[in-house]
Amino acid sequence: MSSVQANREPPVFEALIVPHRSLTRKGIALLVAAFVALSVAMALRFWLLGAWPVVAFTLAEVPLAILLVAINLRQARASELIMLTAYEVTVIRTDPAGRRQQVSLPSDWLRVDLEAAGGASHVMLSSRGRGCEIGSFLHEPDKKSLFEGLREALYRIKNPRFDNPQLREGETLVSRS
């Protein structure tokens, strides 16, 4: 089946993965404002005590903290979209800059593995010698949940259940004459 036909196939499994962020933009703005106010108050206190060299270090922390928060916000724009159809799995990664990378693997020989290495686990997709890791920025319980959901969806694709009324228990067919 061609890639165009596979894209028209409805997904059996679809997951949009984004990095977890505990603060909203408003929360981050309040955090930065509180940090700036606290740093200025601390710098003023040390200035009044005569420890003016400490003031320079205290105020130098402010731009550094703002830079780190900005980097954290930028990293939050990353995402991973995983779509599994009967014919292929497609992983579309978007990096923080907005660049996209797409990997497609045929689902015929697709394997989903949860590999543990050095205390951290990795959800790996592999098919016909090609592979990729998914959900790398997820926490361990979320990786396990992604692994189990994807494994179950893949099992449903490889082992479809057909509904044949003639094989149902307790039902008889009535013939029309």
Give per-residue burial for 115-154: e unless 16+ CB within 10 Å, then b: eeeeeebebebebeeeebebbeebeeeebeebbeebbebb
The residues of the chain scoring below 70 in pLDDT are 1-7, 170-177
| Burial status of residue 6 (CB atoms within 10 A of its CB: 0-12, 13-18, 19 or more) | middle
- For tokens 């592979």, what's the residue? 131
Q: What is the pLDDT of residue 79?
A: 92
Helix (H, G, I), strand (E, B) or coil at 63: helix
Q: What is the pLDDT of residue 74?
A: 85
Instruction: Report yes or no on whether pTM surpasses 0.75.
Output: no
- The 10s digit of each residue's pLDDT in 27-45 is 989 999 999 999 999 999 9
Q: What is the pLDDT of residue 145?
A: 93
List beta partners, residue 24: none
User: How far apart are the C-alpha atoms of 13 and 84, rounded to whole Å?
Assistant: 5
Q: What is the pLDDT of residue 24?
A: 83
User: How far apart are the C-alpha atoms of 9 and 117, rounded to whole Å?
Assistant: 35
Q: What is the pLDDT of residue 168?
A: 74
Q: What is the pLDDT of residue 2?
A: 47
Q: What is the pLDDT of residue 129?
A: 87
